[in-house]
A = this chain, B = another copy of it.
Amino acid sequence: MIDQRILPGRFEIVVCRTHQDVIAAISNMTVRGAPAIGAAAAFGLALAGCCSMAKNLPTLRSELKTASAELFASRPTAVNLGWALQRMQTVVDAPCASASDLKEKLLAEAKQIAEEDVATNLRMANNGASLINDGDTIIHHCNTGALATVDWGTALGCIRMAHQQGKLVHVLVDETRPRLQGSRLTAWELGQWGIPYEIIPDGAAGYFLHRGDVQKVMFGADRVAANGDVANKIGSYMLALAAHANGVPVYSVFPSTTADLSLATGAEIPIEERDADEVLGITFHGEPVSPQGAKVRNPAFDVTPHELLTALVTDRGIVEPPFDINLPRVLRAV
């Protein structure tokens, strides 16, 4: 996997030869992005199978149980991690001819999870690209590209698809403080694809929106409530407010698995506060950026109320308001 901690300064591939290697890669954030973590964990369990010396099924299943628990603990808050390991567990528990048969089935299931993610993302990319016009300038927040998934990504996948369809697109990349996934990862991906972009401080988005320089705002989603409220990377809410105030459409792009219809509104989505070091662990021209012992508030996500969203782009189609009616309808249609 690509080491996302040192991009864009260095491009290095980390080879995982054991499931412990995968655990380390997930917990130290070599790999990040919910779908990417899910696929990595699935391959991690497949690796645990491949590496096992077990000659019979009960021994192998016992070893896999331990490995799965270890993988699960590597990033306990990542939803896709549990989801992918649950799918792998179904294979572990299913009737099987032999230990070697199970090992092959686990590898096949991990490949299937990865391939499904790519297919899902391609459907999203096609749906979202249909909203993008030739010549559009788009503000994008955080990183939602191939790095965060198995390939293509979510919101960034739509932009990549529009570009691939021959549309001229131009991206203003929110640097996305505190972890700078925009300037570090999104800018790097856009550069790889040859899509023109400029990095902006998050606070500058309003300036460009007010000037009329921007035709679309696009970001991903970490969790979506039944009424269309979208929890996403911190800063998404202020971006959506500024777009809405200036009549610029706002799209949240996510796979149907990100919608949590058990939540009536975004108020029910728990928001994780993260370490102060994410905010203070930068230097400005080599100097520290805050007084010693400075306190920090660092919420990882905020909720964009559905009123600010023009449409939701999913792999199952584009959802228009009223979302409380249309989102469950579209997601349950398949």
Q: Which residues of A contact B (CB under 8 A)?
A: 5-6, 8-9, 172, 174-180, 183-184, 187-188, 191, 197-208, 210, 234-239, 241-242, 245, 271, 279-285, 287-292, 294-299, 302-303
CB < 8 Å neighbour of A242 from B175, B238, B287, B296: B238
CB of B203 within 8 A of CB of A234, answer yes
Question: Are A283's CB and B280's CB within 8 A?
Answer: no
Seed contacts A174-B203, A188-B291, A203-B236; 4 additional CB < 8 Å A-B pairs: A184-B290, A199-B295, A200-B297, A208-B297
Would A289 and B183 count as touching, CB distance under 8 A? Answer: yes
Task: Write the chain B residue with the least CB distance to A200.
Answer: B297
**Given contacts A200-B296, A200-B298, A237 and B206 within 8 Å (CB-CB):** yes
Could you tell me if B203 and A294 are in contact, using CB atoms closer than 8 angstroms? no
The reply to whether B245 and A284 form a contact with Cβ atoms under 8 Å apart is: no
In the assembled complex, which residues on chain B have CB atoms less than 8 Å from the CB atom of A280? 183, 199
In the complex, are the beta carbons of A237 and B296 less than 8 A apart? Answer: no
Q: State how many copies of this chain the complex holds.
A: 2
Contact between chains at A294 and B5 (CB < 8 Å): no
Given A175-B177, A202-B202, A184-B284 contact (CB < 8 Å)? yes
Question: Contact: B281 with A199, CB < 8 Å?
Answer: no
A6, B177: Cβ atoms under 8 Å?
A: no
- Nearest CB in chain B: distance from A238 CB, A: 4
**Which of B5, B242, B282 is within 8 Å of A241, CB to CB?**
B242
Q: Are A202 and B188 in contact (CB under 8 A)?
A: no
Instruction: Note all chain B residues with C-beta closer than 8 A to A284.
Output: 179-180, 184, 281-282
Residue of B nearest to A277 (CB): B285
Contact of A204 among B175, B239, B299 (CB under 8 A): B299
Instruction: Tell whether, in the assembled complex, residue B299 and residue A234 are in contact, meaning their CB atoms are under 8 Å apart.
Output: no
Give Cα distance in the complex from A172 to B295, angstroms.
Answer: 10
With A206-B237, A241-B241, A302-B210 as contacts: A201 and B187 at CB distance below 8 Å: no
Cα distance A184–B178 when bound, in Å?
Answer: 15
7 A-B pairs, CB-CB below 8 angstroms?
A: A177-B177, A183-B294, A199-B280, A200-B298, A203-B302, A204-B299, A281-B285
**Residues of chain B lying within 8 A (CB to CB) of residue A207:** 234, 237, 271, 299, 302
With A287-B9, A288-B8, A296-B200 in contact, is A302–B206 under 8 Å at CB?
Answer: yes
Q: Which residues of the other chain, B, contact A271 by a CB distance below 8 angstroms?
A: 207
CA gap between A224 and B271 in the complex, in Å: 38
A305 to B298, CA, bound (A): 29
How near does chain B come to A247, taking the closest CB pair, in angstroms?
13
> Could you say which residues of chain B place their CB within 8 Å of the CB of A297?
172, 198-200, 204, 208
